Amino acid sequence: MQDIPCRLCGGKSTEKFHLRGLQGIDITYFECINCGSLQTQEPTWLPEAYKRSHLANADTGAAQRVLGNHALVLIAAKVLRLQTILDFGGGDGLLCRLLRDRGLDAETVDGYSTPT
Protein backbone atom coordinates (compact mmCIF):
# COMPACT_ATOMS: atom_id res chain seq x y z
CA MET A 1 0.00 0.00 0.00
CA GLN A 2 1.26 3.45 -0.86
CA ASP A 3 0.15 7.03 -0.27
CA ILE A 4 0.41 10.01 -2.63
CA PRO A 5 -0.43 13.71 -2.25
CA CYS A 6 -3.87 14.68 -3.56
CA ARG A 7 -3.62 16.61 -6.84
CA LEU A 8 -6.64 18.72 -5.84
CA CYS A 9 -5.99 19.78 -2.23
CA GLY A 10 -2.53 18.43 -1.39
CA GLY A 11 -3.87 16.16 1.36
CA LYS A 12 -2.86 12.55 1.92
CA SER A 13 -4.40 10.08 -0.56
CA THR A 14 -4.39 6.40 0.28
CA GLU A 15 -4.43 3.48 -2.11
CA LYS A 16 -7.97 2.08 -2.58
CA PHE A 17 -7.93 -0.41 -5.49
CA HIS A 18 -6.38 -1.40 -8.83
CA LEU A 19 -7.97 -1.77 -12.28
CA ARG A 20 -6.55 -2.84 -15.60
CA GLY A 21 -6.68 0.04 -18.06
CA LEU A 22 -5.85 0.56 -21.70
CA GLN A 23 -3.55 -1.99 -23.27
CA GLY A 24 -3.32 -3.97 -20.04
CA ILE A 25 -1.81 -1.20 -17.91
CA ASP A 26 -2.50 -1.73 -14.20
CA ILE A 27 -3.75 1.52 -12.68
CA THR A 28 -3.78 2.29 -8.97
CA TYR A 29 -6.62 4.45 -7.58
CA PHE A 30 -6.25 6.64 -4.50
CA GLU A 31 -8.80 8.36 -2.24
CA CYS A 32 -7.95 11.65 -0.51
CA ILE A 33 -8.49 11.57 3.24
CA ASN A 34 -9.02 15.36 3.26
CA CYS A 35 -11.37 16.15 0.32
CA GLY A 36 -12.59 12.66 -0.62
CA SER A 37 -11.56 12.87 -4.28
CA LEU A 38 -10.80 9.67 -6.14
CA GLN A 39 -7.85 9.84 -8.51
CA THR A 40 -5.43 7.59 -10.31
CA GLN A 41 -1.70 7.40 -10.03
CA GLU A 42 0.08 9.92 -12.25
CA PRO A 43 -1.58 9.22 -15.65
CA THR A 44 1.47 8.39 -17.76
CA TRP A 45 -0.68 6.46 -20.25
CA LEU A 46 -2.62 9.45 -21.67
CA PRO A 47 -0.31 10.22 -24.62
CA GLU A 48 -0.59 6.59 -25.75
CA ALA A 49 -4.37 6.58 -25.34
CA TYR A 50 -4.88 9.72 -27.41
CA LYS A 51 -2.14 9.41 -30.03
CA ARG A 52 -4.32 7.90 -32.76
CA SER A 53 -6.99 10.64 -32.92
CA HIS A 54 -10.08 11.79 -31.08
CA LEU A 55 -11.75 9.07 -29.04
CA ALA A 56 -15.07 9.92 -30.66
CA ASN A 57 -13.89 8.28 -33.87
CA ALA A 58 -14.14 4.85 -32.26
CA ASP A 59 -16.53 5.60 -29.38
CA THR A 60 -20.10 5.13 -30.58
CA GLY A 61 -21.61 6.06 -27.20
CA ALA A 62 -19.83 9.40 -26.84
CA ALA A 63 -22.71 11.60 -28.03
CA GLN A 64 -25.23 9.78 -25.83
CA ARG A 65 -23.04 10.30 -22.74
CA VAL A 66 -22.61 13.98 -23.61
CA LEU A 67 -26.39 14.42 -23.84
CA GLY A 68 -26.85 12.75 -20.46
CA ASN A 69 -24.12 14.87 -18.90
CA HIS A 70 -25.61 17.96 -20.54
CA ALA A 71 -28.90 17.38 -18.74
CA LEU A 72 -27.16 16.86 -15.39
CA VAL A 73 -24.96 19.94 -15.78
CA LEU A 74 -27.98 22.08 -16.68
CA ILE A 75 -29.81 20.92 -13.56
CA ALA A 76 -26.75 21.51 -11.36
CA ALA A 77 -26.17 24.94 -12.92
CA LYS A 78 -29.77 25.94 -12.23
CA VAL A 79 -29.81 24.65 -8.65
CA LEU A 80 -26.41 26.17 -7.82
CA ARG A 81 -27.06 29.31 -9.90
CA LEU A 82 -23.90 28.81 -11.95
CA GLN A 83 -23.24 30.89 -15.02
CA THR A 84 -19.63 29.91 -15.75
CA ILE A 85 -18.54 26.31 -16.31
CA LEU A 86 -15.16 24.73 -17.12
CA ASP A 87 -15.26 21.32 -18.82
CA PHE A 88 -11.82 19.97 -17.93
CA GLY A 89 -10.92 17.13 -20.28
CA GLY A 90 -13.76 18.14 -22.59
CA GLY A 91 -12.67 16.12 -25.62
CA ASP A 92 -14.17 17.40 -28.85
CA GLY A 93 -16.06 20.19 -27.04
CA LEU A 94 -19.62 19.00 -27.70
CA LEU A 95 -20.75 19.45 -24.08
CA CYS A 96 -19.26 22.93 -24.01
CA ARG A 97 -21.06 23.84 -27.25
CA LEU A 98 -24.41 22.58 -25.91
CA LEU A 99 -23.97 24.53 -22.67
CA ARG A 100 -23.16 27.70 -24.60
CA ASP A 101 -26.27 27.17 -26.70
CA ARG A 102 -28.23 27.24 -23.40
CA GLY A 103 -26.71 30.62 -22.46
CA LEU A 104 -23.99 29.47 -20.06
CA ASP A 105 -20.44 30.79 -20.21
CA ALA A 106 -18.73 27.44 -20.87
CA GLU A 107 -15.13 26.71 -21.79
CA THR A 108 -13.35 23.43 -22.41
CA VAL A 109 -9.74 22.46 -21.78
CA ASP A 110 -8.21 19.19 -22.96
CA GLY A 111 -4.49 18.62 -23.36
CA TYR A 112 -5.05 15.54 -25.52
CA SER A 113 -7.89 16.55 -27.83
CA THR A 114 -8.86 19.54 -29.92
CA PRO A 115 -12.37 20.97 -29.67
CA THR A 116 -14.06 20.94 -33.09
Residue type, 24: G
Please give the average pLDDT of every successive group of 10 residues along the chain, which has 116 residues.
Answer: 89 93 82 93 78 60 87 93 90 92 93 79
Residue type, 40: T
pLDDT of amino acid 22: 66
pLDDT of amino acid 95: 94
Q: Is 29 left (phi over 0), alpha (psi -120 to 50) or beta?
A: beta
Residue 25: C-alpha distances to residues 2, 5, 49 (Å): 18, 22, 11
Q: Give DSSP secondary structure letters for 22-69.
A: GGG-EEEEEEETTT--EEESP-TTHHHHHSSS-GGGT-TTHHHHHHHH
pLDDT of amino acid 42: 87
